[in-house]
Structure 1
Amino acid sequence: MIERLQVSPYELPLHRIWESARGGFVWRRGWLIQASAEGLHGYGDCAPLPAAGTETPEAAWEALRQAQACAASRSAETLLDALAPVLAAAPAARFALECALLDLASRRRGVPLRHGLSECARDEVPVNAMLGPLGTLAPADLQTACDAGFKVLKIKVGLQDPTAELKHLVELARHLPPGIGLRLDANGAWELDAARRLIDGLNPLPIESLEEPLREPDADRLAALQTGAAFPLARDESLHGPLHRRLADLDPATLGVRRIVLKPAVVGGLARTLTLSARARAAGVEVVVTSLVESAAGLWPTAQLAAAIGSPIPHGLATADWLDADLGPAPRPRHGQIDLPRTAGSGFDPSP
């Protein structure tokens, strides 16, 4: 039984702006969740980001307040069920609560969280480097990431004139070592004709994938673009919005792309993301898991989930270095991957 559910607000500065075609931010604000029982604690992070598909901070706080009010003396299994009507429109709050409960359960069982999600979970997770907006990058920035062992370098595009961006990418690609791919994220920046021209120009380059090319995503238009692309197109934030209420019934084969990007705080939890990932991979659709630039309390369980999914494609989890401060030690990649602890729980422990 849960003895106590503690909700503590936090503010964490970024060392520079996180920028995309949908806007940017320089702070991550949220709540650290701590579920306690029998002297053990499990942790979760509720850091809503409406531009990415979560609820507003106000809605998240209301959901957490109600969870705190009814958590005492309930089992972990019944708490989420009891809160289902409240959490239906609060995926970031649901993610945080589920992480705390699963972390606590895995600590009580004495196993890593990932093994509670899948018996076949890996002990390491390949990740991409997150380099930021294209306009800020020089060849030396790419070389630094390559020297650190990353094989996939993620770059935000769609912030400047498409022709200028393509020219910049062609120049950067000239300096890439063999075997290194560029993962581009347009965040829905382009109209159809511009996206088609960009893809034609990108095809000769070492592009690993392109996320959200269309301002108005449509499965048929995306499928037509995918036919002309030599690399996977991916859907991320466009999986939500109008699709959000039927994510549980989503057929990944009908999305018009070869890849989906899943953020557990937007999907509404680890278990839901694991289920959706399994359906996607069964349909031949690739899966990448990414963070919302959460604190270490959110990044650790997300990395555990990626290990349980087991996709060999690098995930978007190398985001801890963007924060100037954190709630505790965060997972940090070495040689392009995150090695997960063999100890019980998610791996998160709060700083004193």
Structure 2
Amino acid sequence: MKAKYFRYLLKFKRPGGTSRGVLREKETFILEFVENGKKGIGECALFRGLSYDDRPDYEEKLQWLCENINLDPSHLKKELNEFPSLWFGYEQALLNLRHGENLYFPGEFTEGKSAIMINGLIWMGDVQYMEEQIREKLEQGFHCIKLKIGVDWESEHKILQELRGKFSAETLELRVDANGGFSKEEAEVVLQQLADLHIHSIEQPVKAGNWDDMRILCAKTPTPIALDEELIGITDLAEKKRLLETIKPQYIILKPALVGGFAGSDEWISLAEDLNIGWWITSALESNIGLNAIAQYTFTKKSPMPQGLGTGSLFVNNFESSLQLDNELLWFKTR
């Protein structure tokens, strides 16, 4: 087997507002395997400023992977333990090499027989922009909307109040993602305000790494808390277990590119289910290559909850997609 990679810069159609600032482009790396005339493709979806493997020797390690691609997978896994997005790309390219076409996890989803329900994502921005996005998602038929919050809580709170005034919790599920935007004291107030509005859950109310604060919040929160960034960088199984047993969150959010690919996600899911912790899967600004693989993997997990899978429509120069959104349902195009 031979392997090579190339760097690719995805450009946003419109700058995306996050708690980490405004994103205009997203760097990623595409990995290609060739064996006996067959090709496998995967995406090493590095997320600068967020990924555990955002480090100076990243491309060096990617080059090492290409040069040592025929080593035993268990040896490679050990070598790439601190490079979750590289392992994620490796898993995809290997699966794609085996199954061909745009396939990673063939089945009912890739046969076009079943779809995945997803949430509509609302990007941060001024009130008008956020309201415009919400209107669009509601018109498209979404029953679950996720809003990024934590930049201007006063305005964001007003938007949530207006939404809840128009739509009951039974009609519209609302999730919020704070990306660690609040202090523990602020979070205590916000959690109650969210509960008053019957918000489904809040992701990462305080910055990752504050296990004690998060544990205290999760123990008495009136609004379910989901860990997101908290999972990044924890690669040891015993440490994963310790995190979940210490904090006892209501949910965890799995981004395969950030938590060690499908193998890493499987570990987290198994631990969470043993502890009666809920979970769902989200994408993390991958190109259509990585998103396609994540969607196929997600379907195999059979979660009944709306998943956080964007459709790649954020970028002007994305790769061709096998995925198609019909209202809130994500389908695989068979033709």
Scaled by the length of structure 2, what TM-score is found? Answer: 0.87
Partner of 1:261: 253
264, 274, 284: which one aligns with 1:282: 274
Q: 1:230 to 1:24 in 2, by over 3 A?
A: same
Q: Which residue of 1 aligns with 2:61?
A: 63
Between Structure 1 and Structure 2, which shows a larger proportion of helix residues?
1
Q: Distance in 1 between matches of 2:286 and 2:297?
A: 15
The Cα shift of 1:237 comes to 0.5
Cross-structure match for 2:159: 168
Partner of 1:106: 99
Does the 8 Å contact 1:274/1:305 carry over to 2?
Answer: no
State the match for 1:129 in structure 2.
120
Which moves more between the two structures, 197-206 or 130-139? 130-139
Q: Secondary structure of 1:317's match?
A: coil
Cross-structure match for 1:17: 15
Counterpart Cα distance in 2 of 1:111 and 1:29: 22
CA distance in 2, matches of 1:138, 1:300: 27
Q: Deviations over 1:1-27 (max 9, x none)?
A: x2x212122111011222222333211
- Amino acid paired to 1:69: E
For residues 275-327 of structure 1, the C-alpha deviation after alignment (integer angstroms, 9 at most, x for no partner) is: 32132123211111111111111111111111111111111112411111112
Answer whether contact 1:34 1:100 (CA < 8 A) is retained.
yes
- Secondary structure of 2:64's match? helix
Q: What do the CA deviations read for 1:197-219 (whole angstroms, capped 9, x no partner)?
A: 11111112141210000136544
Q: Aligned to 1:38, which of 36, 39, 61? A: 36
Q: Are the equivalent residues in 1 in contact too, given 2:235–2:260 (CA < 8 A)?
A: no
Matched, 1:225 2:217: yes
> Quick check: 332-341 or 265-274, which moved more?
332-341
Check whether the contact 1:134–1:155 (CA below 8 A) recurs between aligned residues: no
Aligned with 2:197 (options 188, 195, 205): 205
Partner of 1:52: 50
Which structure 2 residues correspond to residues 116-155 of structure 1 after superposition, within 5 A?
A: 123-133=114-124, 135-136=126-127, 137-155=129-147
**What percent of counterpart residues are identical?**
25
1:80 is the counterpart of 2:73? yes
Look up the match of 1:292: 284
Deviation at 1:111, TM superposition (A): 11
Decide whether aligned partners of structure 1 residues 79 and 127 sit closer, same or farther in structure 2, where only a CA change above 3 A counts: farther
CA distance in structure 1 between the aligned counterparts of 2:208 and 2:267, rounded to whole angstroms: 27
Residues 134/226 of structure 1: CA separation in 2 closer, same or farther (3 Å cut): farther
Amino acid at match of 1:312: P
Unmatched 5+ residue regions in structure 2?
108-112
Deviation at 1:81, TM superposition (A): 2.7
Check conservation: 1:134, 1:156, Cα contact below 8 A: no
Aligned length: 327
Measured against aligned partners, the alpha-carbon deviations of 1:28-66 in whole angstroms (never above 9, x if no partner) come to 112211112233222111131143233126433112101
TM-score normalised per structure 1: 0.83
Give the distance between the partners of 1:295 and 1:30, measured in 2 at CA. Answer: 8
Q: Distance in 2 between matches of 1:57 and 1:295?
A: 21
Q: 191, 196, 202: which one pairs with 2:183?
A: 191
